[in-house]
Each structure stands twice: as C-alpha cells, then as structure tokens.
Amino acid sequence: MVAEGLLDMFEPISLAEMKQVRLMNRVDEKYLLNRTRLDSLLRRIGKAYYVQRIDGEALADYHTLYYDTAGLAMYTVHHNRKLKRQKLRVRRYRSNNLTYFEVKDKNNKGKTHKTRIEIAAADFYQSLQLPAVRNFIAEKSSYPIDSLMPQLENRFTRITLVDKGMHERVTIDSGIRFHNFQSERDYDLSPLVIMEVKREAGADKTPIDHALTELRIHPRRMSKYCIGTVLTNPKAKYNRFKDKIRYINELATADF
C-alpha cells in the first residue's frame, strides 16, 4: 500500500470537484509498477496534481466481479487482439457502498465508453437475476444473458489524482487480489501497482509524462480481467500474454 506520507504532498480535491474533469474523448494508457518506482514517481509529481479525498481518506476500496461465457468469449476477444471488445462487470465502491452493473466498451479506434446502472449492494452476486440488469444487458450487449456466468472477482485499493488544469485523471490501484470462480484459485498481485492515465485525445505532454520518461516507465497494454484470468485459470489460452506474465514476475522481485 502507498505510504500516506507521500500523499500528504498532494493538495486534496473533493469528489464533487472531481466531477469538473470531463473527458469526453479520452484515451487511456496503463502502466505496471512496483512500490519503489511508484514512490519515485509520486515524489516527482506531488506539486502538479491533486489527490481525491472522501471524508479525508485518499485510499478507496473497490470490489469488482466480471462476467463472461463458459468459453471465455470476452477474454478470448481481448487475447486475440481484437480492437472492438466489451466487458460486463459489477463494481462496488466501498467508500460509499454504491454498486453498479457496468458495460465497458472499447471501439476499433481504442476509445473507451462505459455505461452503467445502479443496483443494491446486496445484489452484488445476484445481479443477473434483476430484471433491470437483464434489460440493460439486452440493450447494451450482444452476448446472450443466459450464456453469462461469474468468472473472476478482484479487490484493490485506489488512489485518484487529477492534474491542476483539470484535464487529466490518474488512478493508482494497489493491493490487487483475484479469485476465480471456475478454478477456485486465488492470486495476490499486491507487490505490484497498476496505474492508468486518462486524458483527452491529442493532449500535450503533462508532468506525469515527463516523470515517467525520466524513470523509463513505459505504457503496457493490460486488463485486470485478462491478467487475473491468466494467473488463476490454467485452462485459459494465454500465448499472447506470456510476455506480460514474464514481466510481472520480473518486476515483482526487482528492487528498483
């Protein structure tokens, strides 16, 4: 977990103020870091970003459940590098206990679009039984509802930063743990951190870009759902993810 002392370098911003960050045509880049490199990065950007705090807390717990078909159709589309793809998930934001069923689409230009409906927290594991969710899936997805089943869940703690120009959002996920419903296997990825930078397409370079360049940290295409599936399901096809898994293993044991 990130040391709170490092986050004290960042001025706070509220959830209400964060809503001013409108990324209508956003592009996302993901990075995989260990704790040492994350600390170095945060020290470089502390004066240029706000940290979101809810009731004074900068660390927010998330719980996500991914649905897929028995044959892992959504996972396979991603593995096979199809640009147009979709994920169906339930996500609970533990700081306020709000829970949503979400459809996350990526188009053939790499742009991400997410739609969601709120559900009761008590329905986290039974969302597919809800008429509102079934109608939502029928409207937003081409996957037959009755072909879907719970495949993977993860839990993590998120820090959210926003640049002081209010044009860029950065999420830093740590303490990542996976549980696979089909294999009943667990995997703890907590030695590593997944960071995602979200900004408007065509935006100029920002302080975090310069810091990443200094630290020689490069973007990596990855999905928590896909990585978690590879790490917990021995039956999943993973030829095109071998380099990512090798890098994860190397980074987890590195001291830089």
Domain that holds residue 38: 4-253
Q: Distance between CA atoms of 71 and 55, rounded to whole angstroms?
A: 43
Q: What is the CATH number of the domain that holds 129?
A: 2.40.320.10
Q: Report how far Cα 220 is from the mean position of its chain's Cα atoms.
A: 13
Q: Say what the pLDDT of residue 94 is.
A: 85
At 183 the three-state DSSP class reads coil
- The residue type at 202: G
At 98 the three-state DSSP class reads strand
Contact 141, 88 (CB under 8 A): yes
Q: Say what the pLDDT of residue 3 is.
A: 60
Q: Say what the pLDDT of residue 2 is.
A: 65
- Rounded to two decimals, the pTM is 0.92
Q: Say what the pLDDT of residue 91 is.
A: 98
Contacts of 176 (CB under 8 A, 6+ apart): 154, 155, 156, 188, 189, 190, 192, 194, 224
Q: What total number of domains does the chain contain?
A: 1
Q: Distance between CA atoms of 82 and 60, rounded to whole angstroms?
A: 32
Helix (H) / strand (E) containing 60? strand 60-69
Q: Say what the pLDDT of residue 25 is.
A: 64
Ranges of residues in the chain with a pLDDT under 70 are 1-4, 23-25, 255-256
Q: How many CB atoms lie within 10 A of CB 144?
A: 10
